[in-house]
Structure 1
Amino acid sequence: MGSVPPPATTVGSVPSSAPPAAPVPVRLAATTPDPSDLADLTDLIDLAAGAEALVRAPVAEAVAWAVGVGRHAPLPGGGRTLEHWEQLATVAAVDLALGRVLEPHLDALAVLDQAPDRPTAIEEGASYGVWAAEAPHARLDAVPDHDAPGGWRLSGRKPWCSLAGEVSHGLVTAWVGEHDRAMFSVATRQPGVVVEDGAWSAYALAEVTTSTLALDAVPATPVGPVGWYLDRPGFAWGGAGVAAVWYGGAVALARRLHDQCRTRQPDQVALVHLGAVDAALAGARSVLVTAAAEIDAGRATGADGALLAARVRQVVADTCEEVSRRLAHALGPGPLAHEARHARRVADLALYLRQHHAERDQAALGAALLERDPSSPPW
């Protein structure tokens, strides 16, 4: 019995003969960009296109590329938050794994910039990861030691340390006593630091491996006081910044559908999918623009900032899943089977989105709404 042909509504069941469109900046602002800003994003695309192969070569070269970008990148909260997110989205639209390398380094620079009195100097050429996740099977403790460089030592194991074997430094949370955590800067290439071989078997984001870090009395420098890292406004801003990376990944998929509809006559169902993708991206873009404005105006602090970031992440995550679903329905199996770049983008975005905890984060958003002043409805 022969194979069943794809439905007539599919617009991409075989590879398109049209060459892939050249990448263009991912714009979030609706206003006409300043020519210099657009030039910066265009230059960034050229840099990202050149570095795309690096993330599939020794990933250390891509890390070095991220360090170079970080020397000139705007940071969130300083009046250029939207530009910061446009840079992240633009790189992610070129290659999501490359965006996954860039985002934590820029996040670390923002953390160090926001730290009270900025006690931690950034070494020339230093590359950073940010590792704050916890797991039941691993615990990292910090104890004061006035004889140690930085005044503290870290011992224990830290899970979910992306690129731990590639970056020179990590900003890592550790327990100070039974109930409190603090952030520390630690050099990863020193005695007492072991990157445990993890069972990273994912095909998605295969180059951006995540490992458990084991530390044995390793000197570390505090970044802010106890509790500061999790309570600072920038914690929420960083979470929204990750959503900007997701958004860039969704834009890359949407552009594949748009290109196909322009090069091959779309039927009515294909147009439905294209319209739905556009509407979903428009909603996500709007919440990113609004959030950036609130951050730069100083209104995204405390509970307001946490609620804003939760909304941004939920809307963008939902958008990414909607775009992925629409692409699968509209394009059929052809691009997934025959276009390595497209298949990789689909898989990378699916895994990256799992940083969002789906219904659990939705429930946390609902709980946050109920904790607010009942005399001021949220909508």
Structure 2
Amino acid sequence: MSMHRLDDFKASKAVQFGRDAPADDVQRLLSQVEERIGDVPALLALAEVTGRTAPDPGAGGTVRLWEMLASLAAVDVAAARVFEPHLDAGAILKQAGQQALFDGTWGVFAAEGPGHVLEARAHGQSATTEAGVTLSGSKPWCSLAGHLDHAIVTAKTQSGSRQAFAVDLRSPGVQVEEPLWISHGLREIPSGTVHFTDVPAVPVGEPGWYFERPGFAWGGIGVAACWLGGAVGLVRTFKDALSRREPDQIALSGLGEADRLLASGFELLRGAAAGIDGGTPGVREDCNGSWAHALRVRGNVAAIVESIQGTVGENLGPGPLARDERHAKRVSDLRLYIRQHHGQRDDAQLGSLVLKGKSTW
């Protein structure tokens, strides 16, 4: 039996928060993604093609990149979760001057977790490898590891610092653990633990470089663009629902609030992109300043998205959650995805930077 879907309304329309209209190729990409929702291998193939020409953060096209990510999330949040780390990996490799490595599909595995340690061993310390660096240990929260060709992985070095490495996930020493994933959110993007045993690795930047580069903060804002795009999808569903009935003042107030919040989010991302590309002092060159800036943007976007989630949920009621598969999926995906923002802990990190003088007031 076919099921009426509220959010078919302009589902693949590109999100625009820059001054110029989105490029035609973005609209074509969204139409292709629309046809492949839930098909991870097909989405990864699209991400691989897109990564060859996508704008890089800090290279003059940051707003275009973030518009693309937001547009993807507005179509399907999980699809954006497929594209974002692949594009981020490409940007990281370019920032390190190692763009020649960017072939196939990529992930970025930088999370840490209790009981999981991944160590990098230099030449001469591996029992099975004669030269270079190898990785041994475990890495948690590795999204789509079983589908990807390569990943940028952070590991502990002999000196105790953390360093990024490029690895081939098809190497014999890589074991992808079947993830325990009971959540309905991001069901097709499970994140599990990967075990490494003497896996050859290529250093990406010097020890500490991965976290100290301003690009680390830029990638964090790119994730926030995905969150905001997911909220756009919710508001489109809300608007379409109101167009099918005579809305009361409460519903109109909710739609107005959602529009106002989206507009403020668009302005935040537009301004952040301009600061990154224009070399605003403290945003582009200084790693602490750029991360403080990213924490402000991410925190404000997260608050906007969570407010929109509440407003749309209250106004639409239980019907779409119970009967509209696409809407229910978006709600579940976005609720899980936005938990990458750590709330008060991120604010505490920002507060420590402000205390050291990283503020404009």
Q: Is the aligned partner of 1:323 residue 2:301?
A: no
Alignment check: 8 A CA contact 1:198 1:210 kept: yes
> Partner of 1:357 in structure 2?
342
What letter corresponds to residue 114 of structure 2 in structure 1? P
Query: Quick one: which of 159, 168, 183 aligns to 1:202?
Result: 183
> Partner of 1:314 in structure 2?
299
**Partners of 1:200 and 1:150 in 2: how far apart?**
38
Q: Which residues in structure 2 correspond to 1:20-35 (within 5 Å)?
A: 20-29=9-18, 31-33=19-21
C-alpha displacement of 1:45? 1.5
C-alpha displacement of 1:193? 0.5
Deviations 1:259-297 (A, max 9, x none): 122221110100111111111111111110110001101
Normalising by structure 2, we get a TM-score of: 0.93
> Could you list the runs of 5+ residues in structure 2 that have no partner in the other structure?
none
**Partners of 1:189 and 1:344 in 2: how far apart?**
31
Query: Quick one: which of 160, 176, 182 aligns to 2:157?
Result: 176
Aligned length: 352
Deviations 1:201-235 (A, max 9, x none): 11110000101010011111101111110101100
C-alpha displacement of 1:119? 7.4
What letter corresponds to residue 301 of structure 2 in structure 1? V
**Partners of 2:201 and 2:5 in 1: how far apart?**
53
Query: Quick one: which of 195, 200, 204 aligns to 1:214?
Result: 195
Q: Is the aligned partner of 1:332 residue 2:312?
A: no
Q: Is the aligned partner of 1:378 residue 2:356?
A: no
> Partner of 1:88 in structure 2?
69
Q: Is the aligned partner of 1:248 residue 2:226?
A: no
> Partner of 2:102 in structure 1?
122
> Partner of 1:289 in structure 2?
270
Instruction: Give percent identity, aligned residues only.
Output: 44
Alignment check: 8 A CA contact 2:5 2:326 kept: no
Distance 1:233 1:372, change over 3 A: same
Deviations 1:164-212 (A, max 9, x none): 1110001000000252011000000111100012211111100001010
C-alpha displacement of 1:21? 3.3
Alignment check: 8 A CA contact 1:311 1:365 kept: yes
**Partners of 1:80 and 1:18 in 2: how far apart?**
30
Deviations 1:9-35 (A, max 9, x none): xxxxx9778963342110011x342xx
Query: Quick one: which of 29, 35, 38 aligns to 2:23?
Result: 38
**Partners of 1:242 and 1:64 in 2: how far apart?**
20
Normalising by structure 1, we get a TM-score of: 0.88
What letter corresponds to residue 122 of structure 1 in structure 2? F
**Partners of 2:8 and 2:102 in 1: how far apart?**
43
C-alpha displacement of 1:243? 0.3
**Partners of 2:8 and 2:275 in 1: how far apart?**
40
> Partner of 1:190 in structure 2?
171
What letter corresponds to residue 129 of structure 1 in structure 2? G
> Partner of 2:332 in structure 1?
347
The 3-state SS of whatever aligns with 1:137 is coil
Alignment check: 8 A CA contact 1:120 1:223 kept: no
**Partners of 2:243 and 2:130 in 1: how far apart?**
60
**Partners of 1:320 and 1:86 in 2: how far apart?**
16
**Partners of 2:318 and 2:293 in 1: how far apart?**
37
The 3-state SS of whatever aligns with 1:51 is coil
**Partners of 1:344 and 1:119 in 2: how far apart?**
35
Q: Is the aligned partner of 1:275 residue 2:256?
A: yes
The 3-state SS of whatever aligns with 1:304 is helix
> Could you list the runs of 5+ residues in structure 1 that have no partner in the other structure?
1-13
Q: CA RMSD in A?
A: 1.9
**Partners of 1:120 and 1:174 in 2: how far apart?**
22
The 3-state SS of whatever aligns with 2:35 is helix
Deviations 1:301-347 (A, max 9, x none): 32221111101110111111001000111111111111000010001
The 3-state SS of whatever aligns with 1:229 is helix
**Partners of 2:130 and 2:238 in 1: how far apart?**
54
